Structure 1
């Protein structure tokens, strides 16, 4: 019998005591989450985040002295993040910081649970990917193609032709210089098909072909004039892979 996974360790950072208590209550009512602490300022939380294992950070955006987004910018290896906001206009900035989701106050448990489940699924996917990458051995006998299902037919995809893969809802777009395939699939399934010797996850929504990278600037990859964001959680791995490529 397999051992059940450990609950995600959660830290709450918000200068509103009522909001903190609401989030902690939600965490306590969610079996796959556990609270490891709370802080009323980003400054107070910064040192703990650098030294204490945290899987999921519930982070208020608007706080005095240092905002939640400022805090994220200081962390080299941030945990998964769910932003807590009073305004929806932070959605674009949330995407740039590669957060799991953002909750708009007042927070309902139903909306909280939806965000938490996203974090759980992402955690499980990342763990699976890490295991697959560790076990993968790139050899000269690796296949240089795969087949994907497009509508009712199987289409051959040459790995060298692929520039990047983009997740869009329930579909992924496999993009080549002069064409693209729209496939009903998950990013996890694509990662399992594509060789880790050539492809790397750069963002929750993007997998890139290292051979096709033309430039990197300001945490953005350029491939075929497409600007692809590098998620904070993937930045170190992307840079290390490119340096060794």
Structure 2
């Protein structure tokens, strides 16, 4: 049964009451977001965040006493952050703080929703990465669950031919189908058992049981030619010889 989409608790920090109201309305109209209050100054928000952590912070950049960027630099464990400002020239500095997105006033709901969905995907990816890996449990299970859109899908390890990285997503490829998952290759390596899978390239993880041939630094699986990166070649050959 699919796991319900979690609600992200959202705090708004902005000294402009109208802007606070606009963002608050957007939060209320977004099913996976829930309001957790607002502050009109960065110092007040900093104090609140020490005792009442939230999942997502909508933060204005330009505020008196302390800017939004200054606030971020004081937080030891900041939540996901979407910056809001009337000026575009803060964009480069904003992303140096690893913010989720950067919204320029006036904010449209369509643009707000796009940023919020990005935050949800990051929160989901972090939650999945924190789940115990197969080796951490001391067992070697036959399956795992991955999140595809809004549902968790069961993946039987033996059915997976290979995993390919494409941008911010990975394709989990099976003989007659594939799953597109918002994830990193590192997260896949942690969830897929090393007894079966090996990293063959920075963009590929292969199922050793599915390897049909290896020639000229290329692995063949289901007629797919998969390159072996030079940094992975020794490990792949060792694993195949021991398999």
Give the TM-score normalised by the residue count of structure 1: 0.59
Deviation, structure 1 residue 104: 0.2
Matches within 5 A, 1:88-237: 88-133=88-133, 136-137=135-136, 149=164, 168=167, 188-195=183-190
Distance 1:96 1:168, change over 3 A: farther
Deviation, structure 1 residue 5: 3.4
Query: How many pairs were matched up?
Result: 162
Deviation, structure 1 residue 148: 5.2
Q: Give the conservation status (yes or no) of the 8 Å contact 2:163–2:170.
A: no
Give the aligned partner of residue 33 of structure 2.
33
Are 1:53 and 2:53 counterparts? yes
Give the TM-score normalised by the residue count of structure 2: 0.59
Unaligned ranges ≥5, structure 1: 151-166, 173-184, 197-245
Give the aligned partner of residue 200 of structure 2.
none
Q: Give the conservation status (yes or no) of the 8 Å contact 1:13–1:41.
A: yes
Q: Give the whole-Å Cα distance in 1 for the aligned partners of 2:76 and 2:120.
A: 22
Give the aligned partner of residue 11 of structure 1.
11
Q: Give the conservation status (yes or no) of the 8 Å contact 1:15–1:41.
A: yes
Q: Give the whole-Å Cα distance in 2 for the aligned partners of 1:132 and 1:138.
A: 7
Distance 1:137 1:31, change over 3 A: same
The structure with more radius of gyration: 2
Unaligned ranges ≥5, structure 2: 141-160, 172-179, 192-243
Matches within 5 A, 1:66-77: 66-77=66-77
Deviant stretches of 4+, over 4 Å: 146-150, 167-172
Distance 1:169 1:137, change over 3 A: closer
- CA deviations 1:164-199 (Å, max 9, x no partner) are xxx856689xxxxxxxxxxxx867151233348xxx
